[in-house]
Amino acid sequence: MKLKSGLLWIVLLLIMSSCVSYENLTIEVLKPAKFSLPVNIRKIAVISRNLKYVDDTLQNYQVKNRQLIKDEIKFNTDSLAQITCIDSLASRLLVQNCFDSILILPVNSLPTLHVKAIGPGKAEWYKNMATKTGADGLILLDMFSCFYSIQKDESTSTTVANVLTSNIWSIYDCKNHKIIDRFAQIDTLFWDGTDDNGNYNEHRIPGKKEAIILASAVIGDNYSKHIAPSWCKVYREIMSCGKPELKQAAMLAQKSKWEEASPIWQKYANSKNKRDKIISIYNLALAGEMNGQIDQALELTARAAKLSTGTFWSNENEAVRKYSAVLYRRKLEINKLDAQHELR
């Protein structure tokens, strides 16, 4: 009988633990810039150097169904891509309000120059540009290249398209007469014709010109995140269970009604029921993050991690520790954001 009772107790504990569920939560957070511009750079000029590799000769071509074909209607891909890319970057920087002025030189201000390698120009060139623009810093699009491909799958009668992009940027400090950052990336943007619900429509597949405009705008936006803080979509998990009140609190949190959900979790944070206690303390940490109280949230996750230590709470303990790591990273990001704000 004792053995059966012991097994029954273990089964009951497993049932109690397994009823914990997780609700997805999507939020936006401000991420710090990857590169911090010096505080002395208040006026910037954005310039395309119009450099191209000597073997980049496919401007008027595309790949269609695995065959290289020439465009029937020619248009200046390079100029279109650079204009869109730089305009996208400038619009993001203007929203940030980090600079006193932003000057954009027309992309045809400099002639296209074919080179074997993309590298810095002569020191005199940068000094002349600084004098000409009156800028404290130059943001230079050294090179931008893109190539469009489209492919139809005969077996499914669906079409996919992509644009391969390659770009190199650099930043020149006009007062200290030196390049202070260099950034290069290769990326591919895809279109498969499906919407958010997975429904396919061939009209969603862009042609070459439209695809290049879309891809170039994304590249400019992506580079803005390198030099300026940006909003980013991230995901969190709300811990819940079948208990009506805790389920209600989770539903309130999903609607961003944290002030209404928190009292419910506070009530169960001192519960004799270990499961309810773990859930509530974890969710109070989440509410703390939403209110900008990162240190308090970290204290709560430490408490929840200690409480959930043990065989029967391993899943909850893993979720708590995973979220605690997220909070530590977020604290570092906030510290970096504060430092960047003070410098600007």
pLDDT digit string, tens, across residues 211-242: 999 999 999 999 999 999 999 999 999 999 98
Q: What angle do CA 166, 169, 174 make, to 5 degrees?
A: 165
Spatial CA neighbour of 139 closest among 103, 189, 176, 166 = 103
Q: What is the spatial distance between Cα 284 and Cα 289, in angstroms, rounded to a whole number? A: 9
Q: What's the pLDDT tens digit per position in 274-324?
A: 999 999 999 999 999 999 999 999 999 999 999 999 878 889 999 999 999
How many CA within 13 A on the CB side of residue 223? 34
How many CA within 13 A on the CB side of residue 235? 5
pLDDT tops 80 at residue 109: yes
- Residue 215 CA, chain-centre distance (Å), reads 16
CB within 8 Å of 176: residues ≥ 6 apart: none
Please, are residues 161 and 132 in contact by the beta-carbon 8 Å criterion? no
pLDDT of residue 171: 97
The secondary structure of residue 32, as a DSSP letter, is P
If DSSP codes are grouped into helix, strand and coil, which group holds residue 75?
Answer: coil
pLDDT of residue 343: 60
- 17 pLDDT tier (thresholds 50, 70, 90): very low
Residue 282 corresponds to which tokens in the numbers above?
């974890």
Over residues 185-212, the mean pLDDT reads 93
pLDDT of residue 153: 85
Look at the alpha carbons of 228, 233, 237, 243 in this order and tell me if their dihedral is positive or negative.
Answer: positive
Residue 261 corresponds to which tokens in the numbers above?
């959900």
- 72 pLDDT tier (thresholds 50, 70, 90): confident
- Can you give the length of the chain in residues? 344
pLDDT of residue 342: 67
pLDDT tops 70 at residue 7: no
pLDDT of residue 75: 84
Tell me phi and psi for residue 338, to 5 degrees. -60, -40
- List residues bridging with 25 in a β-sheet: 236
Question: Hey, what domains does the chain have and what are their CATH numbers?
Answer: 43-232 (3.30.160), 233-343 (1.25.40)
Residue 99 corresponds to which tokens in the numbers above?
């600079």
Q: What's the pLDDT tens digit per position in 83-107?
A: 999 999 999 999 888 889 999 999 9
Over residues 167-176, the mean pLDDT reads 96
- 344 pLDDT tier (thresholds 50, 70, 90): low
Out of 17-31, 34-48, 85-99, 175-189, pick the least confident: 17-31
Q: What is the spatial distance between Cα 101 and Cα 103, in angstroms, rounded to a whole number? A: 7
